[in-house]
Amino acid sequence: MRITVLVLSGVIVALLGVLLGAWWTPFFVGAAFGLLIHRPAVAIPLGTVSGLLAWLLPLAAAQLRYGLGPTSVSLAEIMGFDHQGALPVVLTLFVGTLLGLTGAWLACAFWMLVRPQPR
Catalog residues that contact another protein under the rule CB under 8 A: 18-21, 23-24, 27, 55, 58-59, 62, 65-68, 70-71, 74-80, 82-83, 88, 91-92, 95-96, 98-99, 102-103, 105-106, 108-110, 112-113, 116-119
Distance CA 94, CA 111 (A): 25
Shortest reach from residue 58's CB to another protein, in Å = 4
Of residues 10 and 99, the one with the C-beta less far from another protein: 99
Shortest reach from residue 9's CB to another protein, in Å = 20
Shortest reach from residue 104's CB to another protein, in Å = 9
Distances (CA, A) of 48 to 43, 75, 118: 8, 25, 29
Shortest reach from residue 38's CB to another protein, in Å = 13
First and final CA of the chain: distance in angstroms?
31
Please, are residues 89 and 63 in contact by the beta-carbon 8 Å criterion? Answer: no
Distance CA 83, CA 21 (A): 28
Of residues 2 and 99, the one with the C-beta less far from another protein: 99
Of residues 8 and 91, the one with the C-beta less far from another protein: 91
Neighbours of 57 (CB within 10 A): 16
